[in-house]
Structure 1
Amino acid sequence: MLRIGICDDAAAARLALHSALERLSPGCACYEFSSGEGLLSWLDKHPNTIDLLFLDIEMGQMSGMDVARAIRAQDQRLHIVFLTGYADYVFDGYAVRALDYLLKPLSMDKLSSVLERAAHELENDAPETFSVHNSDGLFRVPKRDILYCYSDRRQVHLIARTAEYTFYDKLDQVEAALGAGFVRIHQRYLVRISAIDRIEDSAVFLGNLRLPISRANRAAVMAACARGMLEDF
């Protein structure tokens, strides 16, 4: 399922594009933004939430090109498609690696082609991810960015490099979904093996962060770390 952002200061244009996307890509998740500032603020709080962004160039205080530059300073992954009424900006898009340009009024054939291209690029380039679904939305978190997870009552807290996510699930099910690159160090803690820096009698360390290791799990953790070291050679 594609997660698509639409950033345009014209409400009618957002609605028209949203409707067209739902026809061409049923089941896609669409997020609408009326300004570049609002989009950047949202992306800062919700990284890795959008796969494809349709971005109007001619907006109010912050142009779409300025927004794209700000995005690229933080995110090289997001696919950006510019929306514009003029062809003058085409060459400017090379600096921010735009996927494509769509001239207004939008052509359904061109829009369909862009969606197919974006889906193909995402399929080829996407790292392995873990899906988190909570009240804020649907997030695909790259497994390589996950540091550890811990359970608290009926909730799981996932700690990644740049964000934290809380959702309802069982840690056993999360462990099964994440697979071989993770190890259970405690009844309540699951850690990415390659994030472990050292192991002591009652704790593992991720940098300066100390997490408890149970006596029952210690041998399995040591074995998992040993296998991980061998795979690195």
Structure 2
Amino acid sequence: MAKRKQKSREAPRNPAQMIRLNGVKESTVPSLSGRKSRKICQIPYRRIRYFYSERRLVHVVCGEETLSYYGKLSDLEKRLPRGFVRIHNRYIVNADWVERVSGNRVITEGRELPVSRSMKQEAVSALARLILEKRKGG
């Protein structure tokens, strides 16, 4: 009888914060939607500061609240609206919440997020373009 290889799954610290992502629903407020504790959960994009991944978990950071689901950042990145920028293999940031870019770091709400060397040039120019467009009102 073949032994099954057990995969270590690291559950979120608070299982109630786990969401099952269904994709993006059309509504009057652009948002990410999924299920949380058998209820539909919608997170307006404007509230999302950034996403980061750990192993197979994607964490959605919305200020003090962090929600998690099993998935891949690359799949999520394809569905996100303009305004979200991939800065690292493990991070996607909302340009509206970026305070500044300093060296190989993006600062959002006092938190420093790493910018990978391979993505730095593209990420910094995309963030600069988005921030300028926002200031111009466009």
Which bin holds the TM-score, normalised by the shorter protein?
0.7 to 0.9
TM-score normalised by the chain length of structure 1: 0.44
Partner of 1:229: 131
Instruction: Output one character per residue of 1:18-75: Cα deviation in whole Å (capped at 9) or x when no partner.
Output: xxxxxxxxxxxxxxxxxxxxxxxxxxx88xxxxxxxxxxxxxxxxxxxxxxxxxxxxx
2:40 maps to amino acid: L
Structure 1 residue 163, shift from structure 2 partner: 2.3
Whichever of the two has the greater Rg, that structure is 1
Partner of 1:196: 98
Q: Secondary structure at the match of 2:79?
A: helix
Structure 1 residue 135, shift from structure 2 partner: 4.9
Aligned residues: 111
Higher normalized helix content (fraction of residues): 1
Partner of 1:166: 68
Instruction: Output one character per residue of 1:124-176: Cα deviation in whole Å (capped at 9) or x when no partner.
Output: xx310011335554311000000001111111010013521110111011111
Q: Secondary structure at the match of 1:180?
A: coil
Q: Distance in 1 between matches of 2:78 and 2:121?
A: 19
Residue among 58, 62, 73 paired with 1:156: 58
Residue among 80, 89, 93 paired with 1:178: 80
Aligned-residue sequence identity (percent) comes to: 33
Q: Distance in 2 between matches of 1:162 and 1:201?
A: 26
Q: Distance in 2 between matches of 1:227 and 1:136?
A: 39
Contact 2:59–2:66 (8 Å) recurs in 1: yes
Partner of 2:115: 213
Contact 1:147–1:161 (8 Å) recurs in 2: yes
Contact 1:132–1:165 (8 Å) recurs in 2: no
Structure with the bigger RCO (C-alpha within 8 Å, sep 6+) is 2
Instruction: Output one character per residue of 1:89-120: Cα deviation in whole Å (capped at 9) or x when no partner.
Output: xxxxxxxxxxxxxxxxxxxxxxxxxxxxxxxx
Q: Structure 1: give runs of 5+ residues left out of the alignment.
A: 1-44, 47-122
Q: Structure 2: give runs of 5+ residues left out of the alignment.
A: 1-15, 18-26
2:58 maps to amino acid: V
TM-score normalised by the chain length of structure 2: 0.72
Cα RMSD (Å) of the superposition?
1.9
Distance 1:172 1:135, change over 3 A: farther
Structure 1 residue 208, shift from structure 2 partner: 1.1
Q: Distance in 2 between matches of 1:202 and 1:161?
A: 22
Runs of 4+ more than 2 Å apart? 132-138
Structure 1 residue 222, shift from structure 2 partner: 1.3
Q: Secondary structure at the match of 1:184?
A: strand
